[in-house]
Copies of this chain bind each other. A is one copy, B any other.
Amino acid sequence: MNEVKRFAPGPRMSQAVLHGDLVILAGQVADDPQGDVGAQTAQVLAKIDRLLAEAGSSKALLLSVTVWLADISTFDQMNVVWDEWVDRQHAPARATVEARLALPQFLVEMQAIAARGSAGAS
């Protein structure tokens, strides 16, 4: 159980880490942060999809997501995109708070924890 696998590793951080059947992703921000919070949310969720797939998981196996919004008044705009994306039968725990992010153009950052596995269980 001591094995730790890293995905998209770098010298400063890894984008995803797998230990046992727990997958922990790094905080994800938009690669192209020129769009509004909805556009950035879509990019962030697509990155989460890709990283979960790399680590052998998927959004149906999400356990929790922490959402940071640069401006909490964009909560509803973020949720429009989230609600389209999330697996409504297997929605994770979530917490959303406001925080300034690493660059001023970043409007949303999300960090996800998921189980590894191919099936979305009950």
Contact = CB atoms under 8 A, between A and B. Distances in A.
A16 B3 CA distance: 21
Contact of A4 (B90, B94, B111): B90
Contacts of A121: 2-5
A92 B21 contact: no
A83 B102 CA distance: 16
Interface residues of A, number: 59
How many copies of this chain does one complex carry?
A: 3
A13 to B, nearest CB: 4
Contact of A82 (B12, B94, B98): B12
Interface in A90-113: 90-102, 109, 111, 113
